[in-house]
Every structure is written in C-alpha cells, then in structure tokens.
Chain A
Amino acid sequence: MTGSLWRLLARALTSPSGRLGTFVLALLTLFVIAGPWLLPDPAGMPDLLAGATPPGGWHLFGTDQLNRDILSRVVSGGRISLSVAGLAVTLAVTLGALVGGLAGFHGGWLDGVLMRVVDGALAIPRLFLLLLLVAVWEQIPLGALVLVLGATGWFATSRIVRGEVLRLREAEFVLAATALGAGPGRIILRHLLPNVAGPLLVAATLGVGDVILLEAGLSYLGVGVRPPTPSWGGMILDARPLLTTAPWASIFPGLAIVITVLAVNLIGDALRGALDPRNA
C-alpha cells in the first residue's frame, strides 16, 4: 500500500505545479511552526495609542486597530487554520472510507439506505449544514469545529470509495484471493484499501482547500474560530470596520488564505493528474 502511494506522490512531484504547490505549502508549514519564535508576540506590549499602523519597518504587514502585529497574527492564525483543516479532513476521509467501504462491500439494502442518505446530504450545500450545526453553540470550541467540519465532508468521498469497492469486488485478483480462502478482513486490508488509497489521497488534498475556505467563512460570519484565538477569517471580520482607514488589516489575512488554498489545490491537481491512467 505504501509503495503505490509513494509512487503516486513521486509522480505528482514531477509536474511543475505539483512541485510549486509542495514547496509553497512546506514553506508555509515551516513558517507557521517556527513563526512564534521569530516574530514579535502579537499580543505583547501593544501601544494602544498608536492604533493601526501601515505596513513597513518593524511591522512588515502593519498593525491592526489594537496595534497588534498583523504578520504575527497571520502566522498564529495559520496554525489554527492548518491544524483544523488537517484534522477535519482526516476525519472526513476516514468516515468516507468507512461508509463507502461498508456500502460497497455489504451491498443490498444497506447500500441502498446509505447511498440515499448521501444523495440527500449532497443536495444540501455544505455551508448550510455547517450553519445549522455551529449555531448550536454560543461559542463553538475548536474540537467541535473540527468535528463539524469533518462530519459534513465525507459524502462525496464515500461515493468514490463505494464505486471503487464495487468495481474491485468483482475484479479477478479479489476473486482469486477469496478462492484461496482470504476472509473479508484480509480482502479489505490487503486488496481493497491499497487500491482506494490513491483516490482517497486526491479527495483529501482537495478537501483541505475546501475546509480552509469554509473555516475562514464561518469565522468571518462570527460562528467559527472566535477571538481571542486568531484565525484568518476572524481577522478579516475584525478588520472590516477599518476598511477605509486600514485596508491592510483585511488584505494580508486574505492573501494568506489564497496562497495556502492555491498551494493545496495545485498539489491536489497534480495528484489527480498522476492518478489518471491517461497520463501514465
């Protein structure tokens, strides 16, 4: 299983966009991890009278209305956004693989019921599902936000996995394994899972971009990550009243979102291209 995944990754890295995406994402991750040691404490010793100062000098991205360094806040917000997205997508892909695998492997009525539920869930735009769910909390804890983002992200993945399992279940090598006496556990782990690992990885990578945008959107609406925890969407929300006087306070967190999502999507596209047999 790991062998084929490494080959897929290696092939994705041969494309220029895949390399660019990986490079940018690696750089961002490094910066987000190391940032707090390199940058001024965003909340440390603010000069409240100074207000929002434009980019330049000690504050590369300028400061916000509380005279907090925007670059530092973008970096700490990145920690939150990237970890929330990573965890939520892991959860979503696991759920998608479980439900899709169950539906495809079991078949019959269970498949029918599960797929009708997925049909219905896919008809509701994900943002509206999220809005219904997050509205429950007065102030949603980060853990719950991850759960909610993960729980609304598995529907399309389960469809993909189910399709693959249905196709593979009748494949000759699986029939051969069954004939040799392999039980369902072995079939799933040794034969089905390695073959759906590629499509899962593509779905996961593209899912990360979606989740970053959705989390930013929820935080912008004031129902996602809440202050004082910094997040890119929340920073843009805070900066909205300053649009006339301090536009940089909205522009930089947004640029961080665009660059991150773009990098992730480039990797996702490269992986999809590497998986496509037409490009082999």
Chain B
Amino acid sequence: MIHWLLRRSLQAVLTFLVVTVLLFVLMRLTPGDPLQRLAGDRQVSAAEAAALRRRFGIDQPITTQFRTFVTGALAGDLGVSIEHYPTRVSTLLVSRLPASLLLGGTVLVLTFGFGIALGALQAVRRGRRVDRWLTRVSLALYAMPSFWLGLVLAWFFGIRLQMLPVAQMHDPLFDPEATWLAGAGDVLRHLILPATTLTAVSLAAVMHYQRTALLEVLRLDFVLAARARGLPERQVLWRHAWRNALFPVVGLLGLWLPMLVTGSVFVEQVFNWPGLGHLAADAVGARDYPVILGTAMLVSAQVLLGGLLADLGYYALDPRVRRA
C-alpha cells in the first residue's frame, strides 16, 4: 500500500513539474511583449519600460526567469498581478478560493448524486421510455455552452419570474446584523442558479458512465447466480450489482474535474460569482499573465490531485487493483 501510494504520488508530482515547465514555456515563447499591453496606448519612455521590466523580472535571462519562477512556485509564490499591482497572485488566488470551493463542492455533490441515481435508473429501465428520454436530455445538456444556459436560466428565473438573484454571492442590501442562519440562507439563494447551471452541463458524463457500468455488471455471472438463488430483484440490483458498478464512477472524478473548472470560468463570469473562474476570465480580459498562469497552475494541481484521489478510491474499494 505504502509503496503503491508513494509511486503514484511521485508520478503526480513529476507530472506537475512537467505542467510547470509547459506553462512557463508557453507564456514566454509566445510572441509579443506583456509590457506593451500593460502600457496600452500610452507612450512609455525607454527608462520607464526598463523600470517596468525590472519590476516584473523580465529583464533577466530566460534561464534565470525560469529558476525564479520554479523556486517561487514551489514556495507558493506566483509573482505579482499586473492588473491588481502590487497584490501577489497567491493572495488573489487564496481570496477567491472559498467561493470556488463552495460552488465546486456543491456541484460535485449534486452531479455525482443525481448522475449516479439517474444513470442507475436508466440501466434498470434500459431501452424503455425513461431511458430514452434521459439519454436525449443528457445529450442536449452536454451540447450546451455553460454560459448560455446560465444566461437563459438567469433570464427566466431571475428576470422574468424575479425568483432568484442572478449575481454575486451576497445581497448588497443584506442586513449585516442579521443572524448567521439568515446569512447562510442568503448565500444559498445566490448559489442556486450557478450550481444548477454547472450541474446541468456536467451531469451527462456521470449519468453515461453509471449507466454503462451498471449494464456491464448486470451481464456478469454473479448477478445471474444471485437471481438463481431466488434473491429479490431489488436486492440483486442494489446490494450486488450497483455496488460493483460504482467503481468506474469513482474513477471518473479525475476526468470530470477539468470539466468542472472549465465550466466554472464561464458560469462564475455570468453570475458574477467571486471565485477563481471569474478571476481567470477577468485576467484574460486584462492580459494579466501572472494571474492566468497562477490559476492555470492551481487548477492543474487540482486535476492531478483529483486523479490521485480517484485512484486511491479505486485502491480502497477494489481489491483487484492492489494485485495489479
């Protein structure tokens, strides 16, 4: 176990190093000078430009820049934001993390909860009307741009029906002396639309996985054996088959996380949700390289960690992996 875990973690760390190198190379090898965009239309004297270059460390040779970048990144220092100068990128990321974790965590629970339930229902009712309709709906949702679905939901529930707030995480008119519970309720109301949008666009993958996995298991001999022993169908399905069909869905976590962070860039932007995705979208608009790079590093680390956790889940749940 320890040996396996060490090897797997080492692999993740090495991949992250490759990610760091790739991102650095991408940022530096692309044409154009970041300072030119920073200055915009303003005339910058040579002296000013040199000072700016020194300030952001881009007057150093590329190898020195790379060393500074890597050692800094390892120590959690991702440089200084151009847009929010002189705030450090790490400070920005940390300040946006809670909102993203709240939204992402909610979506994670909702997607896997509904995805597993609906996918299992499809497998059990295979080929019937429920299965066919759920397939159609999930395919349509999978084809939707998250920002568009967000806008449509915001228009319908927020503007037409005036039911739900469509922006921010808190009501600006909210009484600051209200109870803790009322505050949580306020955040929850703001969470509904973004969480629904993100869940809707990422649900299809989980449903599809669960449906396929359960259908595969239902074909196996031990299910036949359980039925032959005269066990009630309900018990065969849930106690025997479904448990075994859960592993592939756990493994999906690593593949699904990139989808979540991608979707959250758009959804957070649409709903003005103060998370990392919104930060990244703004940083692109402002050509704030250090911040784009910082968010890219953070989400890549999350993706690798998700993959690691998924493998760990596999390992804990499925004894066959241990022998492999």
Chain A residues engaging chain B, CB cutoff 8 angstroms: 116-117, 119-121, 123-129, 131-138, 209, 213, 216-217, 220-223, 233, 236, 240, 243-244, 247, 250-251, 253-254, 257-259, 261-262, 265-266
In the bound assembly, the distance between CA atoms of A137 and B155 in angstroms comes to 33
In the bound assembly, the distance between CA atoms of A94 and B154 in angstroms comes to 40
A247 contact set on B, CB distance < 8 A = 152, 155, 159
Counting residue pairs across A and B whose Cβ atoms lie within 8 Å, the total is 144
Which of B258, B261, B293 has most chain A Cβ within 10 Å?
Answer: B258
A265 and B155 form a contact (CB under 8 A)? no
A124 and B300 form a contact (CB under 8 A)? yes
Given contact pairs A253-B148, A257-B143, enumerate 5 new A-B contacts (beta carbons under 8 Å): A120-B18, A213-B143, A222-B285, A254-B149, A258-B148
B143 and A128 form a contact (CB under 8 A)? no
B18 and A136 form a contact (CB under 8 A)? no
A265 and B142 form a contact (CB under 8 A)? yes
Those 9 A-B pairs whose CB atoms lie nearest each other, nearest first: A120-B18, A254-B148, A261-B143, A128-B296, A125-B258, A262-B143, A136-B30, A127-B262, A120-B19
- Is the C-beta of B107 less than 8 angstroms from some C-beta in chain A? no
A223 and B143 form a contact (CB under 8 A)? no
**Whole-angstrom distance between the Cβ of B256 and the nearest chain A Cβ:** 11
Q: A123-B300, A257-B148 are in contact. Are A131 and B284 (CB under 8 A)?
A: yes
The contact of B148 among A129, A133, A236, A262, by CB within 8 Å, is A236
Stretch at the interface among B20-28, B73-81, B84-92: B20-28
- Is the C-beta of B299 less than 8 angstroms from some C-beta in chain A? yes
In the bound assembly, the distance between CA atoms of A240 and B269 in angstroms comes to 12
A120 and B15 form a contact (CB under 8 A)? yes
- Is the C-beta of B69 less than 8 angstroms from some C-beta in chain A? no
**11 sample A-B contacts, Cβ–Cβ < 8 Å, listed by A number:** A117-B22, A119-B15, A126-B262, A127-B262, A128-B296, A132-B293, A213-B145, A216-B148, A220-B147, A221-B284, A222-B285
In the bound assembly, the distance between CA atoms of A129 and B140 in angstroms comes to 26
A222 contact set on B, CB distance < 8 A = 285
In the bound assembly, the distance between CA atoms of A121 and B300 in angstroms comes to 9
Interface residues on chain B, number (Cβ under 8 Å)? 51
The SS class assigned to the B binding surface is helix
A261 contact set on B, CB distance < 8 A = 143-144
Q: Of all chain A residues, which has the CB nearest B16?
A: A123
In the bound assembly, the distance between CA atoms of A135 and B144 in angstroms comes to 25
B151 contact set on A, CB distance < 8 A = 236, 240, 243, 250, 254
A127 contact set on B, CB distance < 8 A = 261-262, 265
In the bound assembly, the distance between CA atoms of A261 and B142 in angstroms comes to 9
Which of A136, A216, A236, A266 has most chain B Cβ within 10 Å?
Answer: A136
A258 contact set on B, CB distance < 8 A = 140, 143-145, 148
Q: Of all chain A residues, which has the CB nearest B307?
A: A123
**Whole-angstrom distance between the Cβ of A237 and the nearest chain B Cβ:** 9
B148 and A250 form a contact (CB under 8 A)? yes
A217 contact set on B, CB distance < 8 A = 145, 147, 265-266
A121 and B152 form a contact (CB under 8 A)? no
Q: A128-B299, A132-B296, A240-B151 are in contact. Are A209 and B18 (CB under 8 A)?
A: no
- Is the C-beta of B58 less than 8 angstroms from some C-beta in chain A? no
The contact of B296 among A119, A124, A134, A259, by CB within 8 Å, is A124
A221 contact set on B, CB distance < 8 A = 265-266, 269, 281, 284-285
B32 and A117 form a contact (CB under 8 A)? no
**Whole-angstrom distance between the Cβ of B294 and the nearest chain A Cβ:** 11
B140 contact set on A, CB distance < 8 A = 258, 262
- Is the C-beta of B303 less than 8 angstroms from some C-beta in chain A? yes
**Whole-angstrom distance between the Cβ of A243 and the nearest chain B Cβ:** 5
A136 contact set on B, CB distance < 8 A = 30-32
In the bound assembly, the distance between CA atoms of A261 and B159 in angstroms comes to 28
- Is the C-beta of B189 less than 8 angstroms from some C-beta in chain A? no
In the bound assembly, the distance between CA atoms of A266 and B269 in angstroms comes to 29
A135 and B287 form a contact (CB under 8 A)? yes
Which of A121, A209, A222, A253 has most chain B Cβ within 10 Å?
Answer: A121
- Is the C-beta of B202 less than 8 angstroms from some C-beta in chain A? no
In the bound assembly, the distance between CA atoms of A258 and B295 in angstroms comes to 28
**Whole-angstrom distance between the Cβ of A24 and the nearest chain B Cβ:** 12
B299 contact set on A, CB distance < 8 A = 124-125, 128
B152 and A135 form a contact (CB under 8 A)? no
Please encode chain B, from 244 to 277, with 1 for each CB lying within 8 Å of some chain A CB and 0 for all others.
0000000000000010011001100100000000
B300 and A135 form a contact (CB under 8 A)? no
Which of B145, B258, B287, B292 has most chain A Cβ within 10 Å?
Answer: B145
Q: Of all chain A residues, which has the CB nearest B135?
A: A17
In the bound assembly, the distance between CA atoms of A273 and B22 in angstroms comes to 35
- Is the C-beta of B280 less than 8 angstroms from some C-beta in chain A? yes
